[in-house]
Amino acid sequence: MSDEFEIDMDDLQRRMDGAMGALKSEFASLRTGRAAASMLDPVTVDAYGQATPLNQVGTVNVPEPRMVTINVWDKAMIGKVEKAIRESGLGINPQTNGTIIMLPIPELNEERRRELTKVAAQYAESTRVAVRNLRRDGMDQVKKAKAAGMSEDDVKLWEDEVQELTNKYIAMIDKALESKQAEIMQV
């Protein structure tokens, strides 16, 4: 491969890693019947006129396998935190005890498990789309290099390398989805 036309594969891989990281954090927010502090990561509270992550208005703890507690630092925020949790779509009903909000995690029924596997599939598909868009960016770099005089052999090598990287990440997404769906369906 010619050094005068360098396709930035490291940048492409870094951006694909970012897409995988986002998928993993979305998967972590899907509850599987077990309590986890990360399930509250996507919840934002309208605090002092702006959307604030829940973990910045209180301390999130997991004292037991089916319970999450939030110790809200500002008493005035308790109602807003409860509202944010109810509207988050997590399917959890908060219970308040002073400045502590308790979130009992109910057992997932079969219907809710199937619903969550569909949500996981949607997260995976949006990540696949992101990876394919990054593939397109890589192929565009190759086309620009070809227009600037890169040889046909080098063009083919770079296109193959970009496609190989894309295939690797799509396989990683599929594997992550498969394991998350198995975790959700596990009783």
pLDDT tens for residues 60-114?
998 888 889 999 898 888 889 898 888 877 778 888 988 899 988 877 788 888 8
Q: Is the pLDDT of residue 183 over 90?
A: no
Q: Is the pLDDT of residue 23 over 60?
A: yes
* Positive or negative: CA dihedral 98, 100, 105, 111: positive
* Positive or negative: CA dihedral 182, 88, 80, 45: positive
In the numeric block, the tokens 């002092």 are attached to: 48
- What is the spatial distance between Cα 52 and Cα 104, in angstroms, rounded to a whole number? 23
Residue 31 pLDDT: 66
Question: Full-prediction pTM beyond 0.85?
Answer: no
Q: What is the b/e burial string over 115-144, where b = at least 16 CB atoms within 10 angstroms of the residue's CB?
A: ebbebbeebbeebbebbeebbeebbebbee
**For 39-93, where are the alpha helices, taking DSSP H only?**
78-87
- What is the spatial distance between Cα 47 and Cα 52, in angstroms, rounded to a whole number? 6
Measured between alpha carbons, how far is residue 86 from residues 1, 14, 109, 149 in Å?
Answer: 56, 36, 19, 58
Question: Which residues sit opposite 61 in a β-bridge?
Answer: 69
Q: Which pLDDT band holds residue 18 (cuts at 50, 70, 90)?
A: very high
35-104 topology per CATH: Gyrase A; domain 2 (3.30.1360)
Give 104-155 pLDDT, tens digit per residue. 887 778 888 888 888 899 999 999 999 999 999 999 999 999 998 889 999 9
Mean pLDDT of 8-17: 92
Q: Which pLDDT band holds residue 5 (cuts at 50, 70, 90)?
A: low
- Domain ranges for the chain, please list them: 9-27+109-185, 35-104
Backbone angles phi, psi at 99, to 5 degrees: -95, 5
Pairing of β 100-104 and β 95-97: antiparallel
Q: Give the least confident one: 19-28, 83-92, 172-181.
A: 83-92
Rg (CA), the chain: 22
Residue 131 pLDDT: 96
Contact predicate 177/120, CB 8 Å: yes
* CATH architecture under which domain 9-27+109-185 falls: Orthogonal Bundle (1.10)
Mean pLDDT of 45-62: 88
What DSSP designation does 97 have?
A: E
Q: Is the pLDDT of residue 35 over 90?
A: no
